[in-house]
Amino acid sequence: MTVFFKTLRNHWKKTTAGICLLTWGGHWLYGKHCDNLLRRAACQEAQVFGNQLIPPNAQVKKATVFLNPAACKGKARTLFEKNAAPILHLSGMDVTIVKTDYEGQAKKLLELLENTDVIVVAGGDGTLQEVITGVLRRADELPLVSTQIFLPNLKATFSKIPIGFIPLGQTSSLSQTLFAESGNKVQHITDATLAIVKGETVPLDVLQIKGEKEQPVFALTGLRWGSFRDAGVSVSKYWYLGPLKTKVAHFFSTLKEWPQTHQASLSYTGPTERPPSGAEETPPRPSLYRRILRRLASYWVQPQDAPQEVSPEVWKEVQLSTLELSITTRNSQLDLASKEDFMNICMEPNTVSKGDFISIGSKKVRDPKVRADGTECLQASRCTLLLPEVSGGELSQSLWFFPGLSAFLLSSPSFLLTDPFLGTLYVLSTVPGSGLH
């Protein structure tokens, strides 16, 4: 034993390196063991649902999964097969997995989708936005989303199908809203999959964005147009700089023309009243005697005046000169008790200094809700944005818009499966102009 300790002391560099390696290896093995325990517990919980008997005249629940294998730098397929797929199969659902090969394929496939009980999105924000757009672009949804006027009696059909979200991408803006925060990737995925199995739903706003000639695009988060967005897109080009890549991208952005001003004309209407979340109960039919009395009373009653015409909506116009314009839903901070529907329009001042631009821009990459001092925010149910020339803008997930852009809110049935421990849940959701993200 003395010789052993003497050897360790004489070779202290190798000993130190060995101890560090063993410590790291033990920590890695312990993490893998904890992940396996999480998977086993989730599978056991899902098997409870799979062991339940169904009536003879009932059919097995069908789930269609849209999986983006390219998400999370190509790791999405492995993450799904190890953490989510076993839970879905053990729950007793008839699972059909559709793997997308290129951007925009999910939109086309959803046009052909005919019979399913649940739509599951396995990917990041981009995949989720594609599926939402595909659902609301369907022929049986177009009468609802193509009009800019709220029609309470108009019922869409396909959007009543609940949509589940398994966050596998590098960016999952809605995961913090839908599920409890967790630093463990495996627990995050299993919690999201179990929420789909349990069938808990929460209403989310959907933003519909449409150009003059383009088809409408739908989003759950929002739209950004400006210098912060442009600098954020270029961050990946400086990957070799490691943690400094974000600040470097914003620094090089300040070397262009400064201040960077984006001008446009914005027209908008104020918030609208939120329609009831559920269908009103039909009162029981009165007796024959009461119906006869009501008919006689209506016969002798004096004719009433014609109903008053509804006053036209008031549109306001604002001339913008901003560093960045963002149009966002309220999904990041859900308020299920709110009685109004609106989206937030924020215009950041173009007086920001270069130093503040680099500092605020670096924070925006991590948290898009960060705003510069002096930002002006408006609340609108519909808006139209006219640009002086063709300019690039982003709909959260690399979607471009052009002059004549319009965004508005509609009321449409929409489901999103979520963690049941986040508060009161509703079956029907409000859709801002057409968006889910």
pLDDT, tens digit (0-9, with 9 covering 90-100), for 229-238: 889 888 989 9
Mean pLDDT of 308-326: 81
* Distance, CA of 404 to CA of 213 (rounded, Å): 9
- 217-233 pLDDT, tens digit per residue, is 888 888 888 899 889 88
pLDDT at 159: 65
Mean pLDDT of 414-425: 37
Amino acid at 373: D
Mean pLDDT of 28-42: 91
Q: Is the pLDDT of residue 173 over 90?
A: no
pLDDT at 420: 35
- 118-146 pLDDT, tens digit per residue, is 899 998 888 888 888 888 887 766 544 44
Q: Give me the DSSP letters along 184-199.
A: -HHHHHHHHHHHHHHT
**Alpha carbon 87 to chain centroid, angstroms:** 23
Averaged confidence pLDDT in the chain: 77
| Phi, psi values for residue 236, rounded to 5° | -65, -20
Cα–Cα separations (whole angstroms), residue 411 to 34, 107, 154, 187, 203: 44, 22, 9, 34, 11
Q: Is the pLDDT of residue 289 over 90?
A: no
Amino acid at 150: F
Least reliable range by pLDDT among 36-45, 260-269, 271-280 = 271-280
**Alpha carbon 39 to chain centroid, angstroms:** 25
pLDDT at 99: 92
pLDDT at 423: 27
Contact indicator for 380, 343 with CB cutoff of 8 Å: yes
Mean pLDDT of 253-265: 86
Within 10 A of 234 (CB to CB), how many other CB atoms are there?
14
Q: Is the pLDDT of residue 302 over 80?
A: no
Mean pLDDT of 80-90: 92
Contact indicator for 409, 343 with CB cutoff of 8 Å: yes
pLDDT at 249: 92
- Which comes out higher in pLDDT, residue 274 or 227? 227
Q: Is the pLDDT of residue 367 over 90?
A: no
pLDDT at 272: 83
Helix (H) or strand (E) holding 107: helix 105-112
* pLDDT-above-90 percentage for the chain: 18
* pLDDT-above-70 percentage for the chain: 77
